Amino acid sequence: MEDTQSKSDFRKVAINKVGIKNIQYPIAITNRRGIRHNTVGTFAMYVNLPHDQKGTHMSRFIEILNEHKDDLTLLTVERMIESMKEKLDAEQAFLNVSFPYFLEKEAPVTRSKSFMNYTVRIVGEIVRDSVDTILEIDVPVTTLCPCSKSISEYGAHNQRGLVTVRVRFNDHDAKNPMDIDDLIHLVEQTSSCEVFALLKREDEKYVTEQAYENPVFVEDLVRDIALSLSSEKRITWYSVEVTNFESIHNHDAYAYIERDKSNSSHAHAFESANATSVAHS
């Protein structure tokens, strides 16, 4: 049959990114403990298009996605990007995927079980032969203000916050499987108190007192998480972003730290994983 996409284009204008976005697909994630999580990923997949080629072959993106949906890791994402580059005869390939990740948690006193959902994103690209992948996780937390506690005769203002951690790993063992659970645990243990879907009265008393005994400014939280990530040898680069949804102000409190631990810079590093996340693709 005639291949219209492969025909020459008379306008001679190269395209930076062309492909598919906002496609939802069933995927499976296996954590380091061997527990399998079934979820739904929202994908964006692009390649560059030379100035003399009329179009790309959209169906090949879905074929590649279908081949790797059953065990998604940072390594399989890298293989998908390499396959996109090869099968679509491109110099550059880009893939973003976002998915809800559920963990079963026990309430601290009654041990009542419920599921917490976290948003996970993988952002990847290949330019010529250089592959770069970033794992990004959103973790909700509770924070309690140290200043409010110190100046008040009783009580202190507290609120939910959102921590976004982005990391690059340095070896295949760290990428397959991904350390999603460990990163979530690291963030939650650093906050005033973690967030739960289900709390009975005994649990609510516990988390209220737990937060009161562990007050943190947004500056404290971002620094403590950064120190923990800096000590992790498998991580070569990270960023930590903390937003507190202030309960007594009409603004949010915000802090950000970024560190490159590698000896050499990433030639094709993203300026911001946020800029290329699925939500803004």
CATH code of residue 141: 3.10.270.10
Q: Give mean pLDDT, residues 60-69.
A: 95
Query: How far apart (Å, rounded) are the C-alpha atoms in residues 148 and 78?
Result: 47
Does residue 275 lie in a domain region?
Answer: no
Please tell me the predicted confidence (pLDDT) of residue 30. Answer: 85
Instruction: Give the model's confidence band at 234: pLDDT under 50 very low, under 70 low, under 90 confident, else very high.
Output: confident
Written as six digits, the tokens of 72 are 């998604």
Compute φ and ψ for 17, nearest 5 degrees.
-140, 130
Q: Reduced to 3 states, what is the DSSP secondary structure of residue 196?
A: coil
Does residue 272 lie in a domain region?
Answer: no
Please tell me the predicted confidence (pLDDT) of residue 276. Answer: 40
Please tell me the predicted confidence (pLDDT) of residue 267. Answer: 36
- Report which DSSP code applies to 55: -
Please tell me the predicted confidence (pLDDT) of residue 32. Answer: 80
Compute φ and ψ for 47, nearest 5 degrees.
-135, 165
Does residue 249 lie in a domain region?
Answer: yes
Written as six digits, the tokens of 188 are 């939650």
Kindly tell me if the per-residue pLDDT of 23 is higher than 60: yes
Please tell me the predicted confidence (pLDDT) of residue 231. Answer: 92
Does residue 147 lie in a domain region?
Answer: yes
For residue 183, what are the domain limits? 4-265
- Say if residues 51 and 91 touch (Cβ distance below 8 Å): no
Does residue 277 lie in a domain region?
Answer: no
Kindly tell me if the per-residue pLDDT of 280 is higher than 90: no
Does residue 204 lie in a domain region?
Answer: yes
Kindly tell me if the per-residue pLDDT of 271 is higher than 80: no
Please tell me the predicted confidence (pLDDT) of residue 179. Answer: 79
Kindly tell me if the per-residue pLDDT of 172 is higher than 70: no
Kindly tell me if the per-residue pLDDT of 26 is higher than 70: yes
Q: Give mean pLDDT, residues 65-81.
A: 92
Please tell me the predicted confidence (pLDDT) of residue 160. Answer: 96
Written as six digits, the tokens of 246 are 């202030």
Does residue 45 lie in a domain region?
Answer: yes
Kindly tell me if the per-residue pLDDT of 248 is higher than 70: yes
Q: Give mean pLDDT, residues 129-135.
A: 91
Q: Give mean pLDDT, residues 121-140.
A: 94
- Say if residues 78 and 133 touch (Cβ distance below 8 Å): yes
Mean pLDDT of the chain: 90
Q: Give mean pLDDT, residues 119-140.
A: 94
Query: How far apart (Å, rounded) are the C-alpha atoms in residues 159 and 225?
Result: 18
Q: Which of 125, 123, 144 is nearest to 135 (CA)?
A: 123
| Structural domain count of the chain | 1
Q: Give mean pLDDT, residues 77-94.
A: 95
pTM higher than the cut 0.85:
yes
Query: How far apart (Å, rounded) are the C-alpha atoms in residues 245 and 243?
Result: 6
Kindly tell me if the per-residue pLDDT of 205 is higher than 60: yes
Does residue 273 lie in a domain region?
Answer: no
Q: Give mean pLDDT, residues 222-242.
A: 95
Kindly tell me if the per-residue pLDDT of 268 is higher than 50: no
Kindly tell me if the per-residue pLDDT of 13 is higher than 80: yes
Q: Give mean pLDDT, residues 79-105.
A: 96
